[in-house]
């Protein structure tokens, strides 16, 4: 694979649910808009599937012989496949965009983030999306001669003012914006976090 031209630009990335990625450049990359619609549909059809499963059981029919169940099973699988295909396409484009425009990419190590271990569909899809996104960034960085710096979650990226370094109090998730009491900069929570991730990543890179 041929190296991409250097841009002399570094970027910090914060991962989210509503916005898939928030960049230190101030860009917010919204998660797929169609996603919710398709996921709602998936949920509905999955409910139908479990009803048909129960019906077949009640009537003592084998699942392999239950036409309604099999039809519904294929329907659910197709919706799921559609979600996965669109997601892959979206993540491919996004990772290429970031790798093309930046030489050093700083982000959190997902292994230390404590992913949502629950069965809520939207969140489990977000988990998989993040992991797949990081994976794509990593192999593309290798292909194209770029660099990924990962750091653990212990670093309190949302509490520190990215302008003056003041360590403010803990911010609950509902606080989306805040003003630093020291330098009076008004922050978007996620963009501030991604700026801190960038600064911390570059600091660690220099320390090596």
**Tokens representing residue 128 in the block:** 């998989």
Catalytic residue set? 14, 108, 190
Q: CB of 193: closest distance to Zn ion in angstroms?
A: 14
Stretch that binds Zn ion, among 56-64, 91-99, 133-141, 174-182 (CB under 5 A): 174-182
Pick between residue 133 and residue 155 the one whose CB is nearest to Zn ion. Answer: 155
- To the nearest 10°, report the CA torsion of 79, 82, 88, 91: -90
Q: Is 199 in the site for Zn ion (CB under 5 A)?
A: no
According to CB under 5 A, which one of 126, 161, 191, 199 is a site residue for Zn ion?
A: 161
Give yes or no for residue 159 binding Zn ion (CB under 5 A): no
Q: Which residues contact 171 (CB under 8 A, 6 or more apart)?
A: 158, 159, 178, 189
List residues bridging with 160 in a β-sheet. Answer: 167
CA dihedral 39, 15, 7, 144 (to 10 degrees): -70
With tokens 């991962």, the residue in question is: 15
Q: Per CB under 5 A, does 183 bind Zn ion?
A: yes
Interface with Zn ion, residue 179, by CB under 5 A? no
Q: Is 166 in the site for Zn ion (CB under 5 A)?
A: yes
Per CB under 5 A, residues contacting Zn ion are 161, 163-164, 166, 180, 182-183
């Amino acid at each position: 694979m041929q190296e991409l031209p250097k841009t002399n630009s570094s970027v910090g990335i914060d991962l989210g649910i509503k916005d898939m990625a928030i960049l230190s450049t101030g860009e917010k990359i919204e998660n797929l808009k169609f996603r919710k619609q398709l996921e709602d549909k998936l949920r509905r059809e999955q409910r139908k599937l479990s009803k048909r499963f129960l019906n077949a059981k009640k009537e003592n029919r084998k699942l392999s012989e239950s036409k309604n169940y099999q039809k519904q099973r294929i329907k659910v699988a197709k919706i799921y496949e559609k979600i996965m295909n669109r997601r892959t396409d979206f993540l491919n484009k996004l990772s290429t965009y970031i790798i093309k425009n930046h030489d050093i990419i700083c982000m959190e190590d997902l292994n230390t983030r404590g992913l949502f271990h629950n069965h809520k569909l939207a969140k489990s899809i977000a988990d998989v999306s993040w992991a797949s996104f990081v994976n794509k960034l990593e192999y593309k960085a290798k292909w194209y001669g770029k660099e990924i710096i990962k750091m653990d979650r212990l670093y309190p990226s949302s509490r520190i003012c990215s302008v003056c370094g003041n360590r403010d109090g803990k911010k609950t998730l509902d606080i989306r914006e805040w003003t630093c009491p020291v330098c009076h900069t008004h922050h978007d929570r996620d963009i501030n976090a991604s700026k801190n991730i960038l600064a911390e990543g570059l600091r660690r890179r220099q320390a090596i």
